[in-house]
Amino acid sequence: QSLRQLSQRTISTASRRQLENRVPEKQKLFQEDNGIPVHLKGGVMDSLLYRVTMGLTVFGTAYVVYELALASMPKK
């Protein structure tokens, strides 16, 4: 039983130490008026995710238009 209490105590204190409140610094970052859109203020990963999403969207739209054009042509 003392082993269980010891393990619970170390887990709870370790997780409490790791979790610090970073909300104020994130608020400061996202509320800063620097001309960057809010969806890109997170840094390089936000920019990369945005570009990948836009690329997939453009590719998907072009593919759908191609398939619709293909389906509208009569078969020979």
The whole-model pTM stands at: 0.62
47-76 pLDDT, tens digit each: 999 999 999 999 999 999 999 999 999 887
CA angle 38, 39, 41 (to 5 degrees): 60
Q: SS3 of 4, please?
A: helix
Domains of the chain by start residue, with CATH: 22-75 (4.10.91.10)
Neighbour count for residue 47 (Cβ, 10 Å)? 14
Q: Which is higher by pLDDT, 5 or 35?
A: 35
The C-alpha atoms of residue 46 and residue 2 are separated, in whole angstroms, by: 47
